[in-house]
Structure 1
Amino acid sequence: MTKTAIITGAARGIGLATTDILLSQGWQVAMVDRDGGALADAINTRTNVHGIDCDVSDPVAVDGMVTETLRHFGRIDALINNAGVADFGPIEATDFSRWKTVMETNLDGVFLCSQAAIPALKKTKGAIVNIASISGLRASTLRVAYGTSKAAVIQLTLQQAAELGEYGVRANTVCPGPVRTKLAMAVHSQDIIDAYHDAIPLNRYGTENEIGEVIAFLVSDKASYMTGQTIAVDGGFEATGVGLPSLRKTTETADEMGE
């Protein structure tokens, strides 16, 4: 029996890294993305995958995506809701159109894909992993729509875990911290990079593979008694709260005094 995963936002980044990890573990993957060109490039170099062009905010398209996955692979053992959009700006500059665009993909998409896949997941006693963000756990500037959408995904996951547990379906959330993606490195100035390094106990950005490994664990049998959990994969960023750079300087001074 070969297990099947649906991964949304699979054409690049965390979604693509997770695809490769699951493929290496013997899974087959329905790679879902609304960027048809990037999706075509991704599936051309991989086996045991099936590409589906789908906008996860469109209920009709989502129903078709799940139907196509079942037609091609015959089963669904895991749904990884990874598709998302980022829109950063001040509250006053975030008009309703920008707000809706973020919510439609980041929150509505998770709801729609999960709802459509639940009947198939009940049959396999499968797993849902929703990708939120550290921004859903701790507030930051310029993230009113993004952070709110990700906080809502965390709560949605709890609802899924509570309701679907009796059918053997598990639901967990992964909250990535700063990740060294091509996009992040293109838009983060050196000052921003230094500030993140200062605030993260592990003193670096994470990698797409590091996030993917946690996702792969959560959909595996090794996590068979885990549901309703929110896991920050963030180098300790969320755990430290505020003031860490100052505390580090204090610690360094204390160490010097101790010497």
Structure 2
Amino acid sequence: MSFAGKVVLITGASSGIGAETAIYFAQLGASLSITGRNKHNLEKVAEKCGKSKPFIVTGDLVNENDVKNIIDSTIKHYGKLDVLINNAGIVEFSNIETPSLEQYDNIMNINVRSVFQLTALAVPHLTKTKGNIVNVSSIAGLRPLRNNLSYCMSKAALDQFTRCVALELASRQVRVNAVNPGVVQTNILRNTGLSQEQVKIRFEQLKGMHALGRNGDSLEIAKTIAFLASNDASFMTGVTLLVDGGWHIVPPESIAMH
């Protein structure tokens, strides 16, 4: 599998799955454009990419002008776009009995609205290269989770977005797919207000949700993203591919016990 000569744009590349995906694509020869809010972290990721130094664009995906600048800067730098990886996302705990419209808007703006805008801006460029899109969704888009209402809704929306856009762009030979991870041990829970010890306990509890009895690793997701973006998946579009350690086959009553 090679991405030599391919320009790949990755959002949320400053940490977690996005960072690991950037490093992995660099190993496969891709010309990278990586974006996130933390320039220092993006620079650290760029260093790990070795000789093929990524192009860095800082920006906040909630800001429409920043989103436009991410695409414009990437095209100005490389002259084209072959793969868009919509990876950026946030998790915040919520339920219908303690609603917060501010929290709901924040989650939907980052997890859905920004993807909508970035993809719309990328389509003309991806059409020229017959490129493709990989969205990073979640098992939460397919199975309900307690106290994760807004997050689950956002990922369900992202899955349907994937299918609809895949249908719209199929005639242009632009493929659109999503990867739906189970729990992956990244720093995403640190931003939910949990202490370091609480995060550790939570990750330990979450192992039991998976049929394989463990949480996922960022590299496992990165490799799946690369597969979907590669010519090896040339006959796949509109797919939401579970990489969840078998969470989707665990009976609900088993999950209820954890």
Would you call these one fold, judging by a TM-score over 0.5? yes
Indicate the SS of the match to 1:37: helix
Aligned ranges for residues 152-191 of structure 1 at < 5 Å? 152-184=157-189, 186=196, 187-190=198-201
Tell me if the contact between 1:57 and 1:112 (Cα under 8 Å) persists in the aligned partners.
Answer: no
The 2-side partners of 1:110 and 1:88 are apart by 21
Aligned-pair CA distance for 1:111: 0.4
Residues 1:8 and 2:11 are matched in the alignment: yes
Alignment match, 1:95: 100
Aligned-pair CA distance for 1:93: 2.4
Tell me if the contact between 1:158 and 1:228 (Cα under 8 Å) persists in the aligned partners.
Answer: yes
Distance 1:245 1:159, change over 3 A: closer
Alignment match, 2:136: 131
Counterpart selection for 1:205 from 215, 220, 223? 215
Q: Please give the per-residue CA displacement for 1:215-255, whole angstroms capped at 9, x wherever unaligned.
A: 000000000010000111110001223134799xxxxxxxx
What percent of counterpart residues are identical? 34
The 1-side partners of 2:41 and 2:255 are apart by 39
Indicate the SS of the match to 1:218: helix
Tell me if the contact between 2:23 and 2:45 (Cα under 8 Å) persists in the aligned partners.
Answer: no
The 1-side partners of 2:212 and 2:54 are apart by 35
Alignment match, 2:230: 220
Tell me if the contact between 2:47 and 2:53 (Cα under 8 Å) persists in the aligned partners.
Answer: no
Aligned-pair CA distance for 1:206: 0.4
The 2-side partners of 1:218 and 1:90 are apart by 33
Tell me if the contact between 2:10 and 2:33 (Cα under 8 Å) persists in the aligned partners.
Answer: yes
Gaps of 5+ in 2: 191-195
Aligned-pair CA distance for 1:142: 1.1
Aligned-pair CA distance for 1:91: 2.4
Gaps of 5+ in 1: 248-259
TM-score between the two structures when normalised by the length of structure 1: 0.89
Tell me if the contact between 1:56 and 1:112 (Cα under 8 Å) persists in the aligned partners.
Answer: no
Alignment match, 1:21: 24
Largest Rg, 1 or 2: 1
User: What is the CA RMSD across the aligned residues, in angstroms?
Assistant: 1.9
Alignment match, 2:53: 48
TM-score between the two structures when normalised by the length of structure 2: 0.89
The one-letter code sitting in structure 1 at the alignment partner of 2:65 is: V
